[in-house]
Structure 1
Amino acid sequence: MKALRRLLLLVFGHGVSSVLHSLQYFYTGSSGLSTFPEFFAVGTVDGVQFEYYDSNTQRIVLKQDWMEQYTRDHPNILEAETGNYLGYQQTFQADIGILKKIFNQTGGTHLYQYMYGCEWDDDDGSTDGYNQYGYDGEDYIALDLETLTWVAAVPQAVPTTQSWDQDEARLQYWTYYHTKECDYWLKKYLSYGKSTLQRTDRPRVSLLQRSPSSPVVCHATGFYPDRVVVFWRRDGQELHEQVDPGEVLPNHDGTFQVSVDLNLKAVPQEDWGTYECVVQLRGIEEISTPLDPALIRTNWEDQSGLTIPIIIGFVVLLLTAAAVVGVLLYKKRNGSDTSSENTDGQNLAPEAQPLTTVQS
């Protein structure tokens, strides 16, 4: 999904002058998974999870200390949003049954996903939004905010999009949400979580190499926020050939990591001194690490070096698994005043209903 790629953002190029903030909600309904909740929801700000709900506990779990203060300031919000989640929980299970009929499925494991949110660039003030559904890991329906129409990713979704396009009230609500309301709540959450969400953590940079013939990896980790620029430079010029950039991945502590490979097969070792890895992150000075054999941690020199790539590979494996779970997630409505939450819940809940109505 297009929006899923926004969860893991990597920007290569010069100049880290702004930060792209995001508010995202993910809902997932499942069937055929005995050890997995039939429904769960996750809310994130700037990729940091701030709340969680699932059908097993049927309650909201706050994941950040600043959310505790938020709920103290809005004492009715948890009850209102728990009710909203319960409604979606029932809707998602009904819709999975309908989707299985649509796709002629009688059993097996199936996942129904819903995601929406918005982004805000704190430099130029621009905003963007997304609202989409997926089934079994594939796109199903998405809202085109430019034309204000629902787009079917597969033929089976066409009847639903035709019905939703006729619902002017819902379309107007989503226009308002993505242009006004989501931006409002994103900034409110950023204000509450300022000490953690708007901080800057300096990256730790290492050079790694698995074998003498392997690429040299520039690995930056422990940085925050995730909008980082990492590139290789030779004689002051950024390299576009010989490099293989990776994607930004989350660490368990809320920071991020990224690796950029440099292929040196055609480079004599006497020229290594002209190469350097550069890391740029807003709020810190540029970090430059020269391509010096003495700085490269390897697999073949000593026992300690052996564990480094293994650990990194294991972390990446875990993060990949987490990303797959993230691909399954679902959307939830944030809040402030009780009246605002209840009104929004009434507007949002029908979004899953037409699937059942149209396809039954």
Structure 2
Amino acid sequence: MRQVLLVLVLAALALALQKGLLVFQEVESPYEVNGTFLLYIYQPGCEECKRLEALFSDGEVAALMSKYSLYTLDLSRARISGIDVVVDGQVAYVDHGVVKYYVVRGERTFLIPGTPTVVIGVAEGGRIRLLGFWTGADVPPGVDLKRVFVEFLSPKGVQEGGDAFPYAALLSAFVLGVASAFSPCVLPVLGVAAVTHFARRSLPKVLLGMVLSYAAVGVAVAAVGGAVAYARQVFLAVGGVALLLLGAVLLVERLSVKYAAAVSRLQTFAFKRLGSAGDFLFGFSLGAVWTPCILPYAGFATVVALASLAGNYLALFAALLLYGLGLAAAVYAVVRGVAKYIKGGRWVEVAIGVLSVAAGVYFLGLCL
């Protein structure tokens, strides 16, 4: 009996994660939370996550957070894009370092706007009632991050009418997309763009397909929740296979003539015969990669989260589309600019072929 108890204790410890003065229970799904909870969503290597986690060592913050059942979820492992929630009135949220309130009712899919995201709510009867969310840690200069977080953890009573939907933030979505092109999260997209360019495919058409897919999948996740997860897996699988084929085509020169001819026929069917549509569909199949990687830039993150909660899918599509276009424009400029300084040659084809195969394996791995 003692051995059984020891195993259970060790298992519980394995699922616990110490951050600052607090102990969180690690979960693989947001639906594993119970009671009045605080769910901290993060990713390894996220600089803003580290900034927020520094507050967990503060006594006042730790005391307030201890009132909740604490959970943590690694977004890079969970591979989720949204959480199905019930909203019945006021939701507290952080916008540019200010705690605001939004009033909405109904069943919704809360689209996770990036990391770090903190969700507070009540899990009861298998349903999650959302009370508030915090995203990012990029408060403006002069704003005390701790003060804002303390206010968020102690939301006020219901605010009459709530705040207006922040449509003005849509105007900055394109600029924020450009800025996000230089973050580690976009490295897979840069890799795909490089492979596309050096494989002599139409980079603008591939990027356009990725942008439209990204926006469409984001809206679909917000509209129907987990039901779209299977479609995203199909997109990732198709894109991964296409990258493997492109890599094989670039690397096949030293292989047998028969194998080279077979790969060439596949390339001809998949890309040349389909022409522009082939390049567009290739990009469309990879757009889903961006969906769980929406970066928590203040106003943009608020638009994404509030649009998903309000069921305003047109505003959500516009935000994701503008953000994606900005990101694609920056990626295009970077790849074309770097290409000017790289002379052609067999070594370039081999290097890009290896990159393509690695990217294909990575995307297929996301399907597992």
If the TM-score is normalised by the length of the shorter chain, which range does it land in? under 0.3
From the two aligned structures, give the one with the greater strand fraction.
Answer: 1
Normalised to the residue count of structure 1, the TM-score between the two structures is 0.26
